[in-house]
Structure 1
């Protein structure tokens, strides 16, 4: 967990302002990391993404800013500001920024 995130414990903050875009990059900030799961902020610049992969547990994506193209099991969909998507365990998924976006990713390990 970043030192910056530790300092914010117990203090309200605006998620979208806590991670900045960087040209031609994906920026991530771990807010919470436990054996039971992680909470991570991401900022994707245009053209960036995460390649197709699977995870052994469900993952929740909440779009804070912009719009993501998220493909689950070969089916792409656009997810935008204020929308949430649950990516099911053991199904391939990928994310792509046709234009820049920020997201909160929540992964909880277990059944």
Structure 2
């Protein structure tokens, strides 16, 4: 997807219909992507996972559907729909879908604030 200008409002409609959960796969859509933030919706088939990694951005993760294990800094967090967590920049984390899942991430470029 092309970058979204920071000055442009975006309505991200129809995401559930356009991003079905696929067994044995992880898929994603990025409806907003600009120099300040990125909105990403991911789907995970049951059993799918992402190994430990980190992002230089601050992240708010909200589970929209399913049940997920979301370890952060070595502490496991069991998430159910409606649960959210905040990841500080560079926090090591991983995810494992315990059931079919839909996850929303809002990633914020923390660099301007970390240099203040």
Report the TM-score range of the alignment, normalised by the length of the smaller protein. Answer: 0.7 to 0.9
Kept after mapping to 2: 8 A contact 1:67/1:100: yes
1:37-66 CA deviation, whole Å, 9 max, x = no partner? 210111100111211011122101111111
Q: Cα RMSD (Å) of the superposition?
A: 1.8
Kept after mapping to 1: 8 A contact 2:60/2:106: yes
Q: Which runs of 4+ in 1 moved over 6 A?
A: none
Rounded Cα–Cα distance in structure 1 between residues aligned with 2:40 and 2:90: 20
Rounded Cα–Cα distance in structure 2 between residues aligned with 1:83 and 1:14: 22
**Corresponding residue of 1:52:** 52
* Structure-1-length-normalised TM-score: 0.83
Q: What residue ranges of structure 2 are gaps of 5+ in the alignment?
A: 3-9
**Corresponding residue of 1:82:** 82
Matches within 5 A, 1:1-111: 1=1, 9-10=10-11, 13=13, 15-110=15-110, 111=113
Max radius of gyration: which structure? Answer: 2
Q: What residue ranges of structure 1 are gaps of 5+ in the alignment?
A: 3-8
Which protein has the bigger strand share?
A: 1
Kept after mapping to 1: 8 A contact 2:66/2:98: no
How much does 1:19 deviate? 2.0
Rounded Cα–Cα distance in structure 2 between residues aligned with 1:18 and 1:86: 26
Kept after mapping to 1: 8 A contact 2:26/2:48: yes
